Amino acid sequence: MSAWNAPLAGYGTQLLLGLIFTLQVALCSYTIGMVFGVLGAAAKLSRRRGLRLAAGLYTTLVRALPELLLVLLAFFLGAGLIERLLVFLRLASEDFSLNPFVVAVVALGFIQGAYLTEILRAAVLAIPRGQQEAARALNLPPLTYLGRIVAPQALRHALGGLGNIWLNATKDASLISVLGIFSDVLKVSSLAAAATKRYVFFYMVAGACFLALTLVSMALLEWLRRRLSLSRLA
Amino acid sequence: MTNAPPQAAIEFVSVSKAFGATPVLSDISLTIAAGERAVVCGPSGAGKSTLIRCINGLEQHQRGTIRVSGETLTEATRSLRQIRAQVGMVFQSFNLFPHLTVLENCCIAPRTVLGLPRKEAESRARTLLRRVDLPGYADRYPAQLSGGQQQRVAIARALCMQPRILLLDEPTSALDPEMVQEVLDTIVGLTDLGMTMVCVTHEMGFARRLATKVLFMDQGRIVESGPPADVFDAPQSPRLQRFLGRERAGP
């Protein structure tokens, strides 16, 4: 037992691996959530009524239901349905089953995507309408307008909200510990607590891990905010 | 109107538009010849801005025909592109892109729309920034400039596309009084470029300096039009006489 592992009753390495795993889940789910969020916001801002309705249904349902329930539904219902669909379409063999890690991060991403949809939609709407008119009068191609005018400004408007969802993502990553098949930092802590009977200590350690993630995240977000801030120009 | 000369820059034939049940343009017919500088004036709500915004399709007209340099304006992307390529626009609220520098604001369209190489686009932008009397401001951001300076950047940005027609929609209405003159002087200084200009304004003195033609609008109609000397000094309609009387009596 190495020196730094001793006070943690030998669970130090596992806890560190758990923390890395939690970070992985957060990063993967957030990235997937961003894809859902961009698509959702685009649908909500679309001229097509069908797309707006679909996106509205998505954000309403996901935000209405407890996240834990959604994760459980994704695992026990969603994954099974997708597996059967793939088998039915002959895209997979009979004994195919989805990788649980993939199911977990897609489920978490799907949840975050609903919140990100609303944040991104509001961020785009915060851009004054006159800029769209200027872009049209200048004949700017739609992709140039979206990429060089809308996206950079929407990112600035959304930064606070995006940061909040990221902090949530780090914590939501622990939701999947209830599934019992992943060794995330919360799961490792509860195993260590049960084995050593030092419940308070190990749950405090888990808390410290999450706090550390948040503090590092906040520092990075603040750096990003300063970098992108337009008020520094004024 | 029927025998418009072929060099007409802008032609409206019986153009109408309504917002819901409220008519904003009623049966407007007009011709603005190439190189002419038309000033559109009239009381608030007369439809001046709507008229000018119809020229480059920012607003859609519902009836009648609009031709720009002989090209008929439709809602088709191709038609809009073709017409907007010749028509620059300056807005009341400048509408600069706040996250881009002055130089980037001026270069984004020439580079992406006209495909100009960076060097060429930048040298064109710098030339025009000198023209609007803002040399040395290329690397600033819009928020670092006064309103008058921002509007002059917006003028330079429009000119960078080398439009044949320049639309100015109340270019000084959003400005503090002490900045109005610098922008008006800049606009008057553009006359030697020979562009066709259409300007909505409430500044009557400026209208006289700039205009070769004045259009007076009220309630969606052109009530009177002609050379500034006729329209301002010998108004025919009681509506225009009242309007000018108030302007004179005003501050």
Please compute the mean of the pLDDT values over residues B116-144 and round it to a whole number: 93
Q: Identify the pLDDT of residue A4.
A: 65
Query: How far is the C-alpha of A188 from the C-alpha of A158, rounded, in Å?
Result: 34
Tokens, residue A222: 């603040």
- B93 with A139: Cβ contact below 8 A: no
Least confident among A87-101, A188-202, B169-183: A87-101
Chain B environment of A139 (Cβ under 8 Å): 81, 84-85, 109, 113, 161
Q: What is the dihedral of CA A154, A157, A161, A165, to 10 degrees?
A: 30
Any bridge partners for residue B90, and if so which? Answer: B168
pLDDT in tens, A132-163: 999 999 999 999 999 999 999 999 999 999 99
Chain B: closest CA distance from residue A225 (Å) = 14
Q: Is B28 helix (H, G, I), strand (E, B) or coil?
A: strand
Q: Are B40 and B13 in contact (CB under 8 A)?
A: no
Chain A environment of B112 (Cβ under 8 Å): 140-141, 144, 148
Residue A135's alpha-carbon distances to A129, B109, B125, in angstroms, are: 10, 8, 17
Bridging pattern class, strands B165-169 and B87-90: parallel
pLDDT in tens, A28-38: 999 999 999 99
Q: Please tell me if residue A138 touches chain B, with a CB cutoff of 8 Å.
A: yes
Q: Please tell me if residue A147 touches chain B, with a CB cutoff of 8 Å.
A: no
Q: Identify the pLDDT of residue A184.
A: 87
Q: Examine the pLDDT at B3 and tell me if it is beyond 60.
A: no
Q: Identify the pLDDT of residue A232.
A: 54
Query: How far is the C-alpha of B213 from the C-alpha of B140, rounded, in Å?
Result: 37
Model ipTM?
0.89
Q: Please tell me if residue A142 touches chain B, with a CB cutoff of 8 Å.
A: no
Q: Examine the pLDDT at B5 and tell me if it is beyond 70.
A: no
- Residue carrying the six token digits 């019986």: B14
Q: Which of B28, B31, B72 is nearest to B51 (CA)?
A: B28
Q: Please tell me if residue A146 touches chain B, with a CB cutoff of 8 Å.
A: no
Q: How far is CA A96 from the centre of its chain?
A: 27
Strand order in the sheet with B37-41: B87-90, B165-169, B196-200, B37-41, B213-218, B221-226
pLDDT in tens, A162-221: 999 999 999 988 888 888 788 888 888 888 888 888 899 989 988 999 999 999 999 999
Q: Are B64 and B14 in contact (CB under 8 A)?
A: yes
Q: Identify the pLDDT of residue A231.
A: 60
Selected residue with higher pLDDT from B45 and B111: B111
Q: Examine the pLDDT at A10 and tell me if it is beyond 90.
A: no
Q: Which of A108, A47, A94, A131 is nearest to B100 (CA)?
A: A131
Mean pLDDT in chain A? 89
Torsion sign over Cα B243, B64, B37, A128: positive
Q: Identify the pLDDT of residue B247.
A: 61
- B91 with A149: Cβ contact below 8 A: no
Q: Identify the pLDDT of residue B224.
A: 93
Query: How far is the C-alpha of A62 from the C-alpha of A49, rounded, in Å?
Result: 20
Q: What share of chain A is helix, strand, coil (3-state, %, to 5)?
A: 80, 0, 20
Q: Which of A133, A140, A230 sits opposite B99 (nearest CB)?
A: A230
At B115, the pLDDT band (50, 70, 90 cuts) reads very high
Q: Identify the pLDDT of residue B246.
A: 63
Query: How far is the C-alpha of A77 from the C-alpha of A58, rounded, in Å?
Result: 17
- B144 with A233: Cβ contact below 8 A: yes
Q: Please tell me if residue B91 touches chain A, with a CB cutoff of 8 Å.
A: yes
Any bridge partners for residue B66, and if so which? Answer: B12
Q: Which of B62, B5, B63 is nearest to B33 (CA)?
A: B5
